[in-house]
Amino acid sequence: PLHAYVCSFHWALTQFTPATQNLAPVTTIERFFANVTVLVALVTFSTFLGKMTTAMTQLLNLNAKIYQQEAMLRRFLGENKIPAAMAQRVWQVCRQQQQSNARQQVPTLLD
């Protein structure tokens, strides 16, 4: 019985990983179980991959917005010849606001 459990566990692991597999379903019930296991693995992996892709896209969009706002601020400060001390203070406030917003908007995999 222990050998059967170990073989079953090994087979199940090979369905989720690129590990070698020297076991194959023989009966209809075994083949049905194999198909269900592969489908569960496919859905699980696809869901995980979709969540990761969504999180990365949200992060990239957030960063793109920040870069665009910084470019606009840089252009404004330069075109209006804002003194260096004042520009530095504006940048400090801008960075603090960005950090505060970033803490509230970072996407998580659990969302």
Q: What is the pLDDT of residues 3-36, one digit of tens each?
A: 888 888 888 877 777 767 777 777 888 888 877 8
Higher pLDDT, 109 or 49: 49
Q: Phi/psi at 109 (nearest 5 deg)?
A: -70, -15
What is the pTM for the complete model shown? 0.50
- The rounded distance, in Å, linking the Cα atoms of 85 and 92 is 11
SS3 content of the chain, % helix, strand, coil (to 5): 80, 0, 20
Q: What DSSP designation does 80 have?
A: T
